[in-house]
Amino acid sequence: MSIKNCVSLDEVREEIDKLDEKIVELIAKRSHYVRQAAKFKHSIEKIKEESRLDDIMSRVRQKAIQENISPNMLEDIYRLMIEEMVETEVAEFQNRNSL
Go through the domains of the chain in sequence order and give each one's CATH number.
9-97 (1.20.59.10)
- Can you list the residues of the chain whose pLDDT is less than 50? none
Distance CA 93, CA 86 (A): 10
Please give the pLDDT value at position 38. Answer: 86
Please give the pLDDT value at position 86. Answer: 94
Number of Cβ within a 10 Å radius of residue 55: 11
Q: ∠13-2-63 over CA atoms, to 5°? A: 100
Please give the pLDDT value at position 4. Answer: 94
Please give the pLDDT value at position 99. Answer: 61
Task: Using a pLDDT cut of 90, give the percent of the chain over it.
Answer: 75
Q: What is the largest CA-CA distance in the chain?
A: 58
